[in-house]
């Protein structure tokens, strides 16, 4: 049994919230949501696990998948500057977290949100809208900005001491940094944010939605990896940038997917998505050769692999940089 659960990114804010609630004598469970781009392909989420371990709290990791892809097809609140459905994502996670809360006998869901810290999802009016649409009014506790919101049921019942909560607002991190230093907290270092807020993956998503509106979860995951090339309306090629991406692309293969690999030297692999002609196949092979050790060769041999069987070898001239830039998404 727990008093409350904390939606735990492992970052500074949620780590402070978890630590502070625990210091109040509350029994806390941490719930960490993993974007589909890092789900089901071998990531171990070590940094988040380390942050949770340092707090001495139980951690549940939720790897997101098909439901996230469905949301991306038509987010109710739309996208942010790029392809980020921040509001819809927040609502979906809160709905899921409410079920976890109920199943473990807890009274509230706590987040590391700070009113006014983010322009899209943390304006007070939007935070209230999110709370209402996720049906978590009265059970959603925001300890860092609690004084800017009405008391939750847990506060009214005395489970959580409202006087021991905070009134932060805005983008300053001075308080959090001081708190973290005082208590020697271990937290995940700030990163570049959600993949969907980054221009290149965002452009790949919108391009994917245009040509394959019924995209699946693996196609969505792919926008975070490799170099993407539009060969035709029906065909796309994705070339790995390093061996790590080779392994990820292999894991994202689907039964009807074909891939390319260099025949004579180690190098990147390339996924072929959709229907393709012999001309398209040669173009994909040429692109693959350009990013291999044979990029300056007159010709290179590229193998087409289907269901782990080499079907044919294609002899091509490595693509020029101009061609790559013309086709690149």
Instruction: List the chain pLDDT tens, one digit each, 329 residues.
Output: 999 999 999 999 999 999 999 999 999 999 999 999 999 998 999 999 999 999 999 999 999 999 999 999 999 999 988 999 999 999 999 999 999 999 999 999 999 999 987 766 678 889 999 999 999 999 999 999 999 999 999 999 999 999 999 999 988 999 999 999 999 999 988 766 789 999 999 999 999 999 999 999 999 999 999 999 999 999 999 999 999 999 999 999 987 778 999 999 999 999 999 999 999 999 999 999 999 999 999 999 999 999 889 999 999 999 999 999 999 99
pLDDT attached to residue 117: 78
Contacts of 142 (CB under 8 A, 6+ apart): 110, 111, 113, 114, 115, 127, 149
pLDDT attached to residue 107: 97
The kind and range of the H/E element at 229 are strand 227-230
Number of structural domains the chain divides into: 2
Q: Which of 58, 28, 292, 313 lies closest to 159, judged by CA? A: 28
Q: 144-171 burial string, b = 16+ CB within 10 Å, else e?
A: bbbbbbeebebbeeebbeeeebbebbee
Pair (174, 248) in one structural domain? no
Pair (17, 137) in one structural domain? yes
In a domain? residue 111: yes
Q: Where are the alpha helices (DSSP H) in 6-163?
A: 12-23, 46-55, 66-73, 86-103, 124-133, 153-156
Name the DSSP letter for residue 145: G
pLDDT attached to residue 191: 62
Provide the whole-model pTM.
0.92
Pair (151, 236) in one structural domain? no
Q: Which domain does 269 fall in, by range?
A: 226-327
Pair (158, 14) in one structural domain? yes
Pair (148, 287) in one structural domain? no
Pair (134, 242) in one structural domain? no
Q: Which two tokens stand for residue 19?
A: 């630590």
In a domain? residue 209: no
pLDDT attached to residue 324: 97
Q: For position 104, which CATH number holds?
A: 3.40.50.620
Burial zone of 10 (CB within 10 Å; 0-12 exposed, 13-18 middle, 19+ buried): buried
Domain end marker among 148, 183, 218? 183
Q: Which two tokens stand for residue 282?
A: 């040669």
Contact by Cβ (8 Å): 204, 37 = no
pLDDT attached to residue 120: 64
């Amino acid at each position: 049994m727990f008093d409350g659960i904390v939606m735990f990114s492992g970052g500074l804010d949620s780590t402070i919230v978890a630590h502070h609630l625990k210091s109040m004598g509350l029994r806390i469970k941490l719930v960490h949501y993993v974007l589909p781009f890092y789900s089901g392909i071998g990531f171990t989420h070590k940094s988040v696990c380390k942050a949770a371990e340092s707090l001495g709290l139980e951690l549940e990791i939720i790897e997101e998948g098909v439901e996230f892809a469905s949301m991306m097809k038509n987010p109710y609140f739309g996208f942010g500057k790029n392809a980020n459905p921040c509001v819809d994502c927040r609502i979906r996670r809160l709905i899921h977290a409410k079920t976890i809360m109920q199943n473990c006998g807890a009274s509230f869901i706590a987040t590391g949100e700070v009113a006014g810290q983010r322009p899209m999802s943390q304006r007070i009016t939007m935070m209230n809208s999110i709370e209402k649409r996720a049906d978590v009014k009265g059970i959603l506790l925001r300890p860092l900005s609690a004084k800017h919101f009405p008391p939750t049921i847990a506060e009214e019942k005395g489970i959580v001491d409202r006087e021991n909560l905070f009134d932060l607002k805005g983008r300053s991190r001075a308080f959090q940094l001081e708190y973290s230093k005082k208590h020697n907290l271990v937290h995940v270092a700030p990163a570049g944010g959600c993949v969907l807020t980054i221009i290149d993956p965002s452009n790949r998503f919108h391009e994917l939605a245009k040509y394959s509106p019924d995209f699946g979860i693996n196609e969505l995951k792919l926008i975070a990896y490799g170099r993407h090339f539009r060969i035709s309306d029906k065909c796309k090629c994705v070339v790995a940038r390093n061996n790590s991406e080779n392994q990820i692309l292999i894991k994202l293969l689907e039964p009807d997917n074909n891939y390319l690999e260099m025949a004579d030297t180690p190098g990147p692999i390339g996924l072929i998505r959709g229907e393709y002609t012999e001309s398209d196949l040669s173009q994909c092979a040429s692109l693959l050769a350009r990013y291999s050790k044979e990029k300056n060769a007159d010709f290179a041999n590229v193998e087409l692999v289907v269901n782990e069987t080499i079907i044919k070898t294609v002899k091509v001239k490595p693509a020029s940089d101009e061609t790559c830039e013309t086709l690149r998404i």
